[in-house]
Structure formats: structure tokens, C-alpha cells
Amino acid sequence: MTIRGTAKALSSIAVVAAIGLCAMPGTAHAGVVYQSRTLSGESLTDAGSARWAEAHLIADDSSLYGAKFNPDGEVLTAWDRMADGHANRIEMIVYKGFYYDSAFVADRDTIYVASADGNKTHNLGSPDGSGDIPEDRGVEFRVCVNETSQCSDWVRAVS
Ligand SMILES: [Ca+2]
Ligand SMILES: [Ca+2]
């Protein structure tokens, strides 16, 4: 039973890898193997060099922990579709300028979304809500299974 389950899980991973969903090796927790997937692109509606971005932890072809940043208004939408007792922990960094350099961090914050929250939208202003994010700043984030070190890759956006 256990061996068959493992074999099935491994074949799912092989399929995911074969279609190029993610190059990262998965990490296991409570029997769930997640793949990191990140996406980003140029905003079609926001000014300047704004870029949207998404970060996901994927299992069985579903984004179980995810977050999307829309630079048009600096809105983050996040979800936790895995009722495992762990929230989605979104770690965010806003830089003082366009460059993603640790010497120029303007703000760091952590946002939590529980599975009961559904798709939860945060109008960021700055990540901690203390002010506006000016345009054309570097924004980085990743999603994590809370209380663990299982996280997606960092993804980069521009406000
Ligand atoms: Ca913007
Ligand atoms: Ca969860």
C-alpha cells in the first residue's frame, strides 16, 4: 500500500517535470510534495515599467499555496487551498528603487492567509499598510507553508 502510494506520487512528479512545470526538486511535508512555480510579466495597464508576478507551491497540478501581485494599485491576492493546519505565509520585500539589492530594502513584511479565507486580497500600499509603494520599485515575494521552510522560489515584480 505504502509502496504503491509512493510509486504513484513519483510518477506524478515525473509528469510534472516532463511538461516543464518546474525545474526545482520538490520538498515533502505530511506526504505532500510541492513544486515551486513562479511567473511574471509586463503590466498592460500600469504605468512605467510595472511588472506583475505570481508565486505558487503546486501539487497534483493545483496551486495549493499561491499569491499574485498586481502592480496596478499594488494589490496582492493570495490563497491557501490546503486545509492542513498551516496557513499560507507570504514573505514580501519592497526595495527603495528598481534594483533587487539587499542594501536597498525599504520594507519587509509577512502576510498570512488561512484556508478559510478563500482568495484574500490585500491592498498593499506598503506591505505593512503604513504608506504607498511609489511606482517602479522592486518588489519580491514568495509563498511558504507556515511553520515550515517549504517555500516557492522568490519572484520579482515592479510596482
Ligand atoms: Ca503601480
Ligand atoms: Ca494550509
Q: What's the pLDDT at 2?
A: 46
Sign of the alpha-carbon dihedral angle for 146, 150, 154, 157: negative
Distance 36 CA to ligand 2 centre (A): 16
Q: Which ligand is nearest to the CA of 159?
A: 1
pLDDT digits (tens, 9 = 90+) for 52-80: 999 999 999 999 999 999 999 899 999 99
Question: What are φ and ψ of residue 9, in 5° steps?
Answer: -60, -40
pLDDT at 51 over 80: yes
Per the CB < 8 A criterion, the answer to whether 150 and 32 are in contact is no
Q: Which of 84, 95, 76 is nearest to 136 (CA)?
A: 95
How many angstroms separate the alpha carbon of residue 48 from the centre of ligand 1? 8
In angstroms, what CA-CA distances link 82 with 63, 114, 128, 146, 152? Answer: 9, 9, 25, 12, 15
Q: How far is the CA of 1 from the centre of ligand 1 (A)?
A: 52
CA of 16 to the centre of ligand 1 (A): 34
Hey, CA dihedral for 56, 150, 78, 119, is it positive or negative? positive
Confidence of residue 3 (pLDDT cuts 50, 70, 90): very low
Q: Among 50-64, 65-79, 82-96, 129-143, which stretch is predicted with the lowest mean pLDDT?
A: 129-143
Domain positions in the chain are 2-158
CA 115–ligand 2 middle distance (angstroms): 6
For residues 67 and 143, the answer to whether their CB atoms sit within 8 Å is: yes
pLDDT by residue (tens digit) across 16-45? 443 334 444 555 555 789 999 999 999 999
